[in-house]
Amino acid sequence: MVGMTAVNQRQGLRLMAIHAHPDDESSKGAATMARYANEGVDVLVVTCTGGEEGSILNPAMDTPGVAARIAEVRREEMDNARRILGVRQEWLGFVDSGLPEGDPPPPVPPGRFATTPLAEAARPLVRLIRQFRPQVITTYDESGGYPHPDHIMTHQISVEAFEAAGDAARYLEVGVDEGLEPWQPLKLYYHLTFHKERILALHEAMLAHGLESPYAERLAEWVDRAEDAGRLTTRVPCGDWFETRDRALIAHATQVDPTGWWFRVPLEVQREAWPTEDYQLARSLLEVGMLPENDLFNGV
């Protein structure tokens, strides 16, 4: 826990985390958010879709009664996770696109988040940025973190809104008529949750402790890409909040099996081997100095 002085220093800072579905906020950057919220930062999670197309991935929750009201259940789960993390949350209101399967995959149906025109999809996010006025935004990179169409669309609207929210000439319909002034966020970050350096460190730590690593197969199949070199710019120390992160993830009970893959590396091993959550600084209007940095609000 931080002292009152640290809390006071963080007051007035605002972090917006933009995610595709309920549960994404708890698997990407959750410990960071919990730490900052505890330090007095105002943290807002923006969830683009309701996760209506999500499968029930926890066998204990796979019952007809839950499946029939999956959208309502996922909203309840999101509210539970939000409370655990100590953050606020808003829905953009788009419909989950689902994950098309096949070779080639079928097109996303019309009327879904991923098939919404960019300006229409970004409009409610521009509104939220002008209302909330974050200095820092986190989102996914151009690949979406993995190729789900909603994750890729989340990246696209995040970049669009970051660049447009401060421009008085853009998105006029969410400006003067609503009493909202333009607001330019200062920094935009991409999550780097599953990069090789972290996975390798956790893998080696598990072996050093005489434990079976869940990453052996992934590392054996890993393909290094030249464009990934140097993407890690920011490591936020938040090991003390890994347990909070896990409780928030387990709160998404339809999506997360508490005995499953996510929890195979003991917390003490994680804290020893890699006690940070990691990001790529993608846009900055500030001089941030030497990289890597250890604070999303560095320079603010």
Under a CB-based contact definition with an 8 Å cutoff, are residues 54 and 254 in contact?
yes
Separation of alpha carbons 126 and 234, rounded Å: 25
Does 24 appear as a known binding residue? yes
Q: How many CB atoms lie within 10 A of CB 45?
A: 26
Give rounded-to-5 percent helix, strand, coil for the chain.
45, 15, 45
Length of the chain: 300
- Name residue, tokens 């820092």: 136
Does 79 appear as a known binding residue? no
Rg (CA), the chain: 19
Does 252 appear as a known binding residue? no
How far is CA 174 from each of CA 48, 113, 132, 168, rounded to the nearest angstrom? 18, 20, 13, 10
Known binding-site residues for Zn(2+) equal 21, 24, 151
Known binding-site residues equal 21, 24, 151
